[in-house]
Chain A
Amino acid sequence: MFKKILIANRGEIALRIIRTCKEMNIKTVAVFSTADKTSMHVQQADESFCIGPPSSKDSYLKMDSILMAAEITKADAIHPGYGFLAENEIFARKCAEKNIKFIGPTPEQIHSMGDKITAKATMIKAKVPVIPGSEDLITDIVFGKKLAKEIGYPVILKATAGGGGKGMRIVWNEEEFQSNLENAQAEAGAAFGNAGMYLEKYIEEPRHIEVQVAGDQHGNAAHFSERDCSIQRRHQKLVEESPSPFVDDKLRKKLGEAATNAVKAINYEGVGTVEFLVDKHKNFYFMEMNTRIQVEHPVTEEVVGLDLIRLQIELAAGKKLEKSEYFPQACAIECRINAENPFDNFKPSPGKITNYQPSGGYGVRIDSHVYNGYIIPPFYDSMIAKLIVKASTRIEAIDRMKRALKEIKIDGIKTTIPFHLQLMDNKNFRDGNFTTKFLEDFELSEEE
């Protein structure tokens, strides 16, 4: 087992990793930018090193600084958390060269799932259902129209270099194909410097349902059932839950099987998540695989009763998976509390927390790095706390979340707590009746 792990991250996930390391008697090293000097993960780690100024590119993304800190402290493993360098194959390779275990998959596995077209081809070979679409870029309008007709309208044109919703166009019929393709190409060229477009079936009333998976170094794979992450604003998840109110036992087994096949197809090592889009007919299609631990991992932890960070570290140390399937034994919901003003278009609200009173009690968990008097730096993402509740039924979980949200106090800054409270009272949400389009139609009531 590792003796010392350097955590190449910050905020709540750095603290989360340190907590598990302490329980496993593993020494911890924190790296931090000058903006994070008073951060909780720095306080809790056994050793800490300042690696740069506030900007991420000069600190948390600076591979050499992080590797230098690992060298100085003689850390034998690095945990990259999520974001930053977590899915950076160059960093994973540099760790391997220095004989420091990167707690995650191999550089090749990161690469194979990082490229959308390669990932899709790998999934087709593994017999995982994928969204029907073009295998290559659309360069010929006649070919494009033919393919669209085969797939069946509506189709969506997507930029291969794309993200954040740019360079995307939904096409409802053949007449609109050409103009939409040309518009999307122009937008993609401007946004990403790459006008390459590919074509996919447009999934109507899609639900974002992902499956937590793991693979050990001996070829074994496991799945931990699904999480429903359909409540998203501009492709950013706000609320996650397990089990999904839309998934029945039969679909759960199928999703689990498909996700397990994906893991086995690349001999995946570590924990990861296979994301699917599920349509109203319960057909599911592979979207992408995230080769890291995810923000919403606590939701799965609560319903299957397992420490996923601990599992991650054990798998990296060569441990074998004990089971291949884990099904939810409870219901859990997570609300991401961001330092944003929901009444002002979710504008970021950094600053000092003048009064912090967490919630607590049966079935309430808070994963957060904030404390009374903490100053939220403006340089990083706005998530300040994850509020997770667990209960025997979904409705109980929703009501418990409501109770916890009312109790928690974070003064001095604006947070998205009022938004979450309104969501918990929303009839469609309570009925489990929502897709990824939900928030587009959701109207936030006036501030009280």
Chain B
Amino acid sequence: MDIAQIKKLIQLLNDNNLGELKIQEGDFKISIRHRDFAKTSGVASVVSAPAIAATSTPTASTETKKEEAVSGNFSTIKAPMIGTFYRSAGEGKEAFVKVGDKVKKGDVLCIIEAMKLFNEIQSEVSGKIVKVMVDNAQAVEYDQPLFLIEPN
């Protein structure tokens, strides 16, 4: 799917006052959500530019990063090495964790790949995933924040 087609989908969403549009074509999945969709469940309002959440790899599904206020005591899971961050174990596989998931200390949260070696990154705390701070297939540096976890 190329950018022209994605633009057509956005048009479709707007023209029909849709809140969310999900399309699956074989291994390719795309989800386009209107900016106001999360707040007003189901009721679409007219706005000028919707937020696009399209991904670069065909199998990863998208997720809106909620702009809720983050407060309280959170644990930040940081990258222990430089590499490429992956949400799942591979193409077609489910993401290890999503926002809202409960994790235990030692659970695998993601993979960081460097020089063709895949390293599983484990959680240092038990708790709930509050925020995913990087995108799938994004390059990360040492100590870069990856996940925000609300400890139990």
Closest A-chain residue to B138, C-beta based? Answer: A72
Q: Is A68's CB within 8 Å of the partner chain B?
A: yes
Which residues of chain B come closer than 8 Å to A51, judged between CB atoms?
82, 141-142
How long is the Cα–Cα vector from A370 to B14 in the complex, in angstroms?
A: 56
CB distance from A1 to the nearest CB of B (A): 25
Q: Is A197's CB within 8 Å of the partner chain B?
A: no
Which residues of chain B come closer than 8 Å to A49, judged between CB atoms?
82, 141-142
CB-CB under 8 A for A50 and B144, given A64-B115, A68-B115: yes
Are B142 and A53 in contact, CB atoms less than 8 angstroms apart? yes
Q: Is B81's CB within 8 Å of the partner chain A?
A: yes
Quick one: which of A13-57 are within 8 Å of B by CB? 33-34, 49-53
Are B115 and A67 in contact, CB atoms less than 8 angstroms apart? yes
B74-89 vs A: 1/0 string, CB under 8 Å? 0000000111100000
Which residues of chain A come closer than 8 Å to B83, judged between CB atoms?
68
Question: Count of chain A residues with Cβ under 8 Å from any Cβ of B?
Answer: 14
Which residues of chain A come closer than 8 Å to B141, judged between CB atoms?
49-51, 69
State the main secondary structure of chain B at its contact with A: loop
Which residues of chain A come closer than 8 Å to B115, judged between CB atoms?
64, 67-68
CB-CB under 8 A for A64 and B142, given A50-B82, A51-B82: no
Q: Is B6's CB within 8 Å of the partner chain A?
A: no
How long is the Cα–Cα vector from A441 to B82 in the complex, in angstroms?
A: 49
Q: Is B146's CB within 8 Å of the partner chain A?
A: no
B103-134 vs A: 1/0 string, CB under 8 Å? 00000000000110100000000000000000
Quick one: which of B18-62 are within 8 Å of A by CB? none
Which residues of chain A come closer than 8 Å to B84, judged between CB atoms?
72
CB-CB under 8 A for A64 and B114, given A50-B82, A51-B82, A52-B81: yes
Q: Is B101's CB within 8 Å of the partner chain A?
A: no
B residues contacting A by CB (< 8 A) are 81-84, 114-115, 117, 139, 141-144
A residues contacting B by CB (< 8 A) are 33-34, 49-53, 59, 64-65, 67-69, 72
| A–B complex contacts, Cβ < 8 Å, 23 sampled | A34-B142, A49-B82, A49-B142, A50-B141, A50-B143, A50-B144, A51-B82, A51-B142, A52-B142, A53-B142, A64-B114, A64-B115, A64-B117, A65-B81, A65-B114, A67-B115, A68-B82, A68-B83, A68-B114, A68-B115, A69-B82, A69-B141, A72-B82
| Pairs of residues from A and B, 5 with the lowest C-beta to C-beta distance, nearest first | A50-B141, A72-B139, A50-B142, A68-B114, A64-B115
- Beyond A53-B142, A68-B82, 9 additional contacts (C-beta under 8 Å) are A33-B142, A34-B143, A50-B142, A50-B143, A52-B81, A52-B82, A64-B115, A65-B114, A69-B82
